[in-house]
Structure 1
């Protein structure tokens, strides 16, 4: 199989329509064989300011929805927005004088707004999680309450949640929290995952070694770059060419089945999207 015969989806990439490369990065992805993108809004303070109200969340989400529409114009497939609240917002708010409980309430309202964008059409899923760095117990508890609120919204609306969390392989408790609130654990996606993961669906950073681990593990997985579209950090975390390059490599290694898992079957199971039907080369 050649790369031109398969969809190529980057499951977690950022675009910055304010000061980033934006559509130029999308064109680079497409030029190397990429076809589909899930575009996550950048943290609110990177685009506008640290969000404290519904209006700021909507401004950030609208910027990303517009960037996704522009991206779709240059892709042979299409892009979808994934909108939500970066878990580090809790620290920004606490530093600005809000209590952890007040920060929780602001962030949960942001997720309410994000879920409206899914229900009303432009967005595919929402994003939540908890800090990937050490915080005190009150902030940790508030963050888990925010994440569980995301699960409640996703269960009610029947859509997926991408998670930004600390590293590790054991997230069975998180998957159980989602199930307790009515979600299918397959629709809980841990972004920036390694090749092994217990609990949610893994979105594997497109590192060759981790991809081989994921294939050996035999569980459904997605691929991502977590490209952040920051002109001061070009190529961070991975550049937009990376997923297409890894797909070419996997095909050269005879891993056609793994490519289909990551770019056709798992996207369909997790998000309900058809990357083949939406592909027009």
Structure 2
């Protein structure tokens, strides 16, 4: 903890078998981190080349296992966020010969399986989105259909949906799609966000300029590293110690309210989790 405060990293990945795994969690905890939202790695990174929705289950189960191990290392706890990485559509279409419609159906089936874990209480939220790079119109439409399926589950289960999308400061159209499905826009979370975003709740990459913008705006936001725990890219994105270090920096610069916003109020609003109560010894 930092001054008895909860410190949450809203989006990172752990590779329990091929890289640092729990050692990364220990680094996070050592510098004051208390809570984690652990997003399953892309299925193919864990050796799963899915043919059916059920094939994603191995990825989800392994993520749930590492989250339980992570919770044991934290003063707070960790939660799993499960879903299908939107980049899978390019792998299916470009490398494996799927049509965009076939890829859509497979990815929606994977989202359906992920939703089972949210319904049972084994996962906190869903992950979906669309490619952040240029794709053709059929792939774009198929990707949006996958994302809309995630929103349908978000509405039915009253859970959040984290999105991996193109860089943007205006995703009101996407938030509108969620609301059309019956899901509140604030439960849509734009992962890898800048400090300013219209529509979903921004999960802000923990770089100082982005955080300063978010803090000064005073709107709900979260903080993340998108740590990818990839042995081939050890320096990619941000390291697991970053969020706690940025929390200290925010506090040193008088942004106490922003820290409470990102680590207590917004997690409660978006995920219905209590990061303060889960610091108590009996939790």
1:79 corresponds to 2:78? yes
What is the aligned partner in structure 1 of residue 215 from structure 2? 215
Structure 1 CA distance, aligned partners of 2:92 and 2:200?
Answer: 28
Structure 1 CA distance, aligned partners of 2:43 and 2:63?
Answer: 11
Q: So what's the TM-score if we normalise by structure 2?
A: 0.97
What are the equivalent positions in structure 2 for 1:191-202 lying under 5 Å apart? 191-202=191-202
What is the aligned partner in structure 2 of residue 256 from structure 1? 256
What is the aligned partner in structure 2 of residue 17 from structure 1? 16
Contact 1:21 1:229 in 2 (8 A): yes
* More divergent stretch after superposition (253-262 vs 2-11): 2-11
Contact 2:54 2:110 in 1 (8 A): no
What are the equivalent positions in structure 2 for 1:236-251 lying under 5 Å apart? 236-251=236-251
Query: How much has 1:28 moved relative to structure 2?
Result: 0.2
Contact 2:19 2:229 in 1 (8 A): yes
Query: How much has 1:75 moved relative to structure 2?
Result: 0.5
What is the aligned partner in structure 2 of residue 28 from structure 1? 27
Structure 1 CA distance, aligned partners of 2:152 and 2:18?
Answer: 34
What is the aligned partner in structure 2 of residue 277 from structure 1? 277
1:163 corresponds to 2:163? yes
What is the aligned partner in structure 2 of residue 136 from structure 1? 136
1:235 corresponds to 2:230? no
Q: Structure 1: 5+ residue runs without aligned partners?
A: none
Contact 2:53 2:112 in 1 (8 A): no
Output the aligned Cα RMSD. 1.0
Structure 2 CA distance, aligned partners of 1:53 and 1:4?
Answer: 47
Structure 2 CA distance, aligned partners of 1:186 and 1:215?
Answer: 18
Structure 2 CA distance, aligned partners of 1:242 and 1:227?
Answer: 9
Query: How much has 1:18 moved relative to structure 2?
Result: 1.9
Query: How much has 1:17 moved relative to structure 2?
Result: 1.1
Query: How much has 1:254 moved relative to structure 2?
Result: 1.3
What is the aligned partner in structure 1 of residue 90 from structure 2? 91
Q: Structure 2: 5+ residue runs without aligned partners?
A: none
Contact 2:203 2:221 in 1 (8 A): yes
Structure 1 CA distance, aligned partners of 2:67 and 2:3?
Answer: 23
Cα deviations by residue, 1:87-119 (Å, 9 ceiling, x for unpaired): 011111112111100100000000000000001
Contact 1:4 1:33 in 2 (8 A): no
Cα deviations by residue, 1:209-237 (Å, 9 ceiling, x for unpaired): 10011112221000000000012222321
Contact 1:127 1:161 in 2 (8 A): yes
Report the 3-state secondary structure (helix = DSSP H, G, I; strand = E; otherwise coil) of the residue aligned with 1:74: coil
Displacement over 6 Å in runs of 4+: none
Contact 2:7 2:32 in 1 (8 A): yes
Contact 1:50 1:89 in 2 (8 A): no
Contact 2:48 2:56 in 1 (8 A): no
Query: How much has 1:161 moved relative to structure 2?
Result: 0.1
Structure 2 CA distance, aligned partners of 1:185 and 1:74?
Answer: 33
